[in-house]
């Protein structure tokens, strides 16, 4: 292989990206060396098993990926803003929308949610850490290895170009001969293992590590949503892993699972992909529902309305999510009866979702609603998501879908679901829980300016797409002629996209500004909130709770504040904590190289990396590290420092 085949060449945009990647990497290396932070990085972050730090790392990655996916989005909007634009070539456009989809779903929305889960779930259930802290670190580093592997594709070897759904035979070696889709199958497999492990870890954590007295029906709604999400993960992700494995065999080893000959079935891929792909939507949406439930309840100063039906509706949604996958290809020709069945199951999802919307509205009723930044995102979610929901019902009608399928109408719909449902949720959660992790709030004024930019620009960007779809504009079209009349609405959409970008820039600036100037919070409970995570000081000490809280009902912390009863009357005893380990990080590196070598079919290096992976896993299983104890005096000191009083 020649060097000019190895690196992507010939496009000034990509040269620019290469230069900036090199510069940023050098800047990071130089900064770490200059400020003598290598040891700190290793001890505090790379080897950490602390769920809070792992969560923070997930969220930092997610923000970087949001930037990457956002730049992709802007490039797409720019290319289609006017007829016959010459900004990107067809091939480049195809790579850009493919990576936009994969990154936004798998490397932005999911890690952002995993980050919030990691930080908050153990705190909400009154636990010291997750059930398997070391496994948690492995999950993170596998996700990180997968994300990095996927991201280098656009400078080394070329990005996948067959859409985020990678339909066969288009994604087969015959029609997509570059290594792009090898990256797709390997990066997603590696990060997928991490996701599956997270699912297992959090199910065990939530089922086994709740504070005494916290029965299942006393859990905060976010914890419930994460529990159900993790159940979906452990059922859905194995399907993806197998599908990707078969894809890898097809592309790298010449098997014929999804090809056009020797018994290959292209539509088998589509089925397997969506058997995972549809539940995946709920994997990102259900935790969002949980986040909104927490925030709406906190800022209405009321308990969540219809708790039981909220839980029940999530269980129903998770079950139905596995029964709807064929609605992604009504047009495959499977006939009216099959389509009718999937139409009905799909529309049925609207029922539990509607129940949730009404429960949120009635949580607001008789409340005292304060419009903080997290609350603004949660409130904007309701009307926007409802548009996404009702257009979803329209798409669910198989007959009508013959006209919406593959058009911009569909694109508008799923952005109307995923942006309020997932992005608004994680931003709301980010603002809401930020003071818990860092000990100060994000600035409210800047937060609100960013919110209005994002909420209004979102509608300007995506509402025109409903009309573009009905006008007959298909998705994934890199160019169109002036006669089609698609121009003006696409230009409007471009204007909205720029507004969204400005909103996100303000959001990031707010992080910087608040870090420098925002006053520090001494209470640990700046929002006057309800769940257990607010009962411990901010930033949360490594052991989370000096003494394990005793739970007597829902909104345990709220009632302990109101009735002036402490959450626990036990004495502080020494606390058992897990020790740090560097092996998950090293395992992640080994997996990265295994994936990278397999992408290029370099067999000898692949075998070496594969053996390295096995050796690291073997040594991990012989680890005899039983953790360490934090002595009582140290806990007392920390608590005094953080609370400014005696415990």
Partner 1 sequence: MNKRGPLFALLLSFTLLLSGCSSLTVLDPKGPAARTLSDTIIFSILMMVGILAVVYALYIFMLTKYRAKKSNEGYEPPHEEGNKWLEILWTAIPILIVAVLSVVTVKTTVAVENVPEGYENQEPLVIYASSSNWKWHFSYPEEGIETVNYVNIPTHRPIEFRLYSFGTISSFWIPQLHGQKYAMSDMITKLNMVADEPGSMMGRNANFNGEGFAHMEFEALAMSSTEYDKWVQDVTETAPELKEDEFKKLLETAHVGRMSFSNTHLEFSPPPSEDHHHGGDVNGNEEHQDHKDVHPDPATTEETEFDSETNVDPNEPLPNFPAEESPNHQHDGH
CB under 8 A: which stretch of 137-145, 148-156, 392-400, 537-545 binds partner 1? 392-400
* Closer CB to partner 1, 13 or 471, in the complex: 471
| Nearest approach, Cβ of residue 277 and partner 1 (Å) | 16
* Closer CB to partner 1, 33 or 370, in the complex: 370
* Closer CB to partner 1, 90 or 627, in the complex: 90
Which residues inside 477-506 make contact with partner 1, applying CB under 8 A? 477-480, 485
DSSP state of 218: G
If one asks whether residue 384 binds partner 1 (CB under 8 A), the answer comes out as: yes
What is the CB neighbour count within 10 angstroms for residue 552? 14
Which residues inside 231-270 make contact with partner 1, applying CB under 8 A? 260-263, 265-267
* Nearest residue to 183 (alpha-carbon basis) of 3, 4, 8: 8
In terms of Cβ atoms closer than 10 Å to its own Cβ (0-12, 13-18, 19+), residue 154 is: buried
If one asks whether residue 382 binds partner 1 (CB under 8 A), the answer comes out as: yes
Backbone phi, psi, residue 415, to 5°: -70, -35
Token pair recorded at residue 19: 């230069």
Residue 218: C-alpha distances to residues 15, 303, 533, 570 (Å): 55, 12, 14, 21
Residue 310: C-alpha distances to residues 34, 353, 363, 569 (Å): 52, 9, 12, 32
* Closer CB to partner 1, 91 or 241, in the complex: 91
Which residues inside 397-426 make contact with partner 1, applying CB under 8 A? 397-403, 405-407
* Closer CB to partner 1, 312 or 628, in the complex: 312
| Nearest approach, Cβ of residue 302 and partner 1 (Å) | 4
Half-sphere exposure of 611 (CA within 13 A, CB side): 5
Q: Which of 140, 184, 325, 466 binds partner 1 (CB under 8 A)?
A: 466
* Closer CB to partner 1, 234 or 369, in the complex: 369
Backbone CA torsion sign across 103, 109, 114, 120: positive
Give the long-range contacts of residues 520-523, CB within 8 A, separation 24 or more: 520/439, 520/440, 521/435, 521/439, 521/440, 521/441, 522/643, 522/644
If one asks whether residue 362 binds partner 1 (CB under 8 A), the answer comes out as: yes
* Closer CB to partner 1, 13 or 347, in the complex: 347
If one asks whether residue 10 binds partner 1 (CB under 8 A), the answer comes out as: no
| Nearest approach, Cβ of residue 388 and partner 1 (Å) | 10
| Nearest approach, Cβ of residue 394 and partner 1 (Å) | 5
What is the CB neighbour count within 10 angstroms for residue 414? 17
Which residues inside 48-87 make contact with partner 1, applying CB under 8 A? none
CB under 8 A: which stretch of 120-128, 136-144, 391-399, 533-541 binds partner 1? 391-399
* Closer CB to partner 1, 163 or 605, in the complex: 163
Q: Which of 255, 474, 548, 638 binds partner 1 (CB under 8 A)?
A: 474
**Cis peptide preceding 168, ω within 30 of 0:** no
If one asks whether residue 123 binds partner 1 (CB under 8 A), the answer comes out as: no
Backbone phi, psi, residue 492, to 5°: -60, -45
If one asks whether residue 186 binds partner 1 (CB under 8 A), the answer comes out as: no
* Closer CB to partner 1, 90 or 566, in the complex: 90
- Here's the x/- map for partner 1, 209-228, by CB under 8 A: it reads as --------------------
Q: Which of 186, 187, 243, 355 binds partner 1 (CB under 8 A)?
A: 355
Number of chain positions touching partner 1 (CB under 8 A): 101
CB under 8 A: which stretch of 13-21, 68-76, 132-140, 463-471 binds partner 1? 463-471
| Nearest approach, Cβ of residue 70 and partner 1 (Å) | 20
Alpha-carbon distance of 518 to 564, in angstroms, equals 30
* Residue 472: partners with Cβ closer than 8 Å, 6 or more residues away: 407, 484
The answer to whether 469 and 412 have CB atoms below 8 angstroms apart is: yes
CB under 8 A: which stretch of 49-57, 105-113, 349-357, 593-601 binds partner 1? 349-357
Alpha-carbon radius of gyration of the chain:
25
Checking phi first, is residue 301 left (phi over 0); if not, alpha (psi -120 to 50) or beta? left
The answer to whether 213 and 550 have CB atoms below 8 angstroms apart is: yes
Determine the 3-state secondary structure of 101 from DSSP.
helix
Alpha-carbon distance of 176 to 185, in angstroms, equals 13
Which residues inside 542-561 make contact with partner 1, applying CB under 8 A? none
* Closer CB to partner 1, 55 or 420, in the complex: 420
If one asks whether residue 440 binds partner 1 (CB under 8 A), the answer comes out as: no
Alpha-carbon distance of 609 to 594, in angstroms, equals 5
Q: Which of 86, 368, 516, 571 binds partner 1 (CB under 8 A)?
A: 368
DSSP H helical ranges for 253-306:
266-300
Q: Which of 208, 366, 445, 522 binds partner 1 (CB under 8 A)?
A: 366
Q: Residue 630 pairs with which residues in a beta bridge?
A: 575
Which residues inside 295-324 make contact with partner 1, applying CB under 8 A? 300-303, 305-309
If one asks whether residue 613 binds partner 1 (CB under 8 A), the answer comes out as: no
Q: Which of 470, 614, 617, 647 binds partner 1 (CB under 8 A)?
A: 470
In terms of Cβ atoms closer than 10 Å to its own Cβ (0-12, 13-18, 19+), residue 23 is: exposed
Distance of CA 632 to the CA centre of its chain: 38
Q: Which of 472, 566, 631, 644 binds partner 1 (CB under 8 A)?
A: 472
The answer to whether 231 and 285 have CB atoms below 8 angstroms apart is: no
* Closer CB to partner 1, 90 or 631, in the complex: 90
If one asks whether residue 347 binds partner 1 (CB under 8 A), the answer comes out as: yes
Distance of CA 137 to the CA centre of its chain: 17
Q: Residue 577 pairs with which residues in a beta bridge?
A: 628
Q: Which of 67, 71, 78, 91 binds partner 1 (CB under 8 A)?
A: 91
Which residues inside 154-173 make contact with partner 1, applying CB under 8 A? 161-163, 167, 169-170
| Nearest approach, Cβ of residue 309 and partner 1 (Å) | 5
The answer to whether 288 and 113 have CB atoms below 8 angstroms apart is: yes
| Nearest approach, Cβ of residue 373 and partner 1 (Å) | 12
Q: Residue 576 pairs with which residues in a beta bridge?
A: 629
């Amino acid at each position: 292989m020649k060097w000019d085949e190895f690196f992507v060449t010939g496009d000034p945009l990509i040269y620019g990206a290469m230069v900036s990647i090199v510069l940023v990497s050098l800047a990071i290396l130089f900064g770490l060396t200059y400020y003598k932070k290598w040891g700190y990085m290793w001890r505090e972050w790379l080897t950490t098993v602390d769920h809070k730090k792992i969560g923070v790392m997930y969220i930092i990655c997610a923000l970087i990926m949001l930037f990457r996916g956002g730049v992709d989005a802007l490039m797409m909007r720019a290319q289609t803003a006017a007829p016959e634009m010459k900004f990107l070539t067809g091939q480049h456009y195809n790579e850009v929308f493919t990576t936009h989809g994969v990154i936004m779903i798998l490397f932005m929305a999911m890690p952002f949610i995993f980050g919030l889960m990691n930080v908050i779930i153990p705190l909400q259930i009154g636990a010291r850490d997750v059930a398997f802290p070391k496994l948690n670190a492995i999950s993170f580093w596998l996700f990180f290895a997968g994300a990095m592997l996927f991201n280098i594709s656009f400078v080394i070897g070329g990005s996948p170009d067959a859409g985020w759904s990678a339909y066969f035979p288009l994604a087969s070696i015959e029609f997509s001969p570059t290594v792009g889709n090898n990256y797709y199958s390997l990066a997603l497999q590696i990060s997928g293992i991490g996701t599956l492990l997270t699912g297992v870890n959090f199910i065990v954590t939530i089922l086994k590590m709740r504070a005494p007295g916290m029965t299942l029906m006393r859990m905060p709604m976010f914890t419930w949503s994460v529990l159900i999400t993790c159940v979906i993960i452990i059922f859905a992700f194995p399907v993806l892993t197998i599908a990707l494995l078969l894809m890898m065999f097809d592309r790298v080893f010449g098997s014929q699972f999804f090809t056009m000959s020797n018994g290959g079935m292209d539509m088998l891929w589509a089925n397997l992909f969506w058997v995972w792909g549809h539940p995946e939507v709920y994997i990102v949406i259900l935790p969002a529902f949980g986040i909104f439930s927490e925030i709406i309840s906190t800022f209405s100063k009321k308990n969540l309305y219809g708790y039981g039906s909220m839980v029940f509706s999530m269980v129903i949604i998770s079950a139905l999510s596995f029964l709807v996958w064929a609605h992604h290809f009504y047009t495959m020709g499977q006939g009216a009866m099959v389509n009718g069945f999937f139409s009905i199951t799909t529309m049925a999802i609207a029922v539990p979702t509607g129940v949730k919307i009404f429960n949120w509205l009635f949580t607001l009723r008789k409340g005292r609603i304060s419009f903080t930044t997290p609350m603004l995102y949660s409130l904007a979610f309701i009307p926007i998501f409802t548009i996404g929901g009702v257009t979803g019902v329209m798409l669910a009608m198989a007959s009508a879908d013959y006209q919406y399928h593959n058009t911009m109408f569909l694109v508008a719909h799923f952005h109307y679901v995923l942006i309020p449902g997932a992005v608004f949720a994680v931003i709301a959660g980010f603002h809401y829980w930020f003071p818990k992790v860092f000990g100060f709030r994000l600035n409210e004024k800047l937060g609100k300016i960013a919110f209005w930019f994002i909420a209004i620009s979102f509608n300007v960007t995506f509402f025109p797409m409903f009309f573009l779809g009905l006008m007959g504009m298909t998705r994934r079209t890199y160019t169109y002629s002036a006669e089609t009349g698609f121009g003006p609405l696409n230009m409007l959409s471009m204007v909205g996209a720029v507004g969204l970008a400005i909103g996100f820039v303000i959001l990031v600036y707010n992080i910087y500004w608040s870090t420098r100037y925002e006053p520090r919070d001494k209470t640990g409970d700046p929002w006057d909130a309800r769940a257990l995570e607010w009962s411990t000081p901010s930033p949360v000490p490594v052991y989370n709770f000096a003494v394990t809280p005793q739970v007597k009902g829902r909104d345990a912390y709220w009632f302990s504040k109101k009735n002036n009863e402490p959450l626990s009357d036990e004495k502080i005893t020494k606390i058992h904590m897990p020790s740090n380990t560097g092996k998950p990080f090293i395992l992640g590196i080994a997996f990265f190289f295994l994936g990278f070598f397999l992408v290029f079919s370099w067999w000898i290096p692949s075998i070496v990396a594969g053996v390295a992976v096995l050796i690291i896993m073997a040594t991990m299983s012989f680890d005899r590290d039983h953790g360490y104890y934090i002595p009582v005096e140290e806990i007392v000191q920390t608590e005094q420092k953080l609370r400014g009083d005696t415990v």
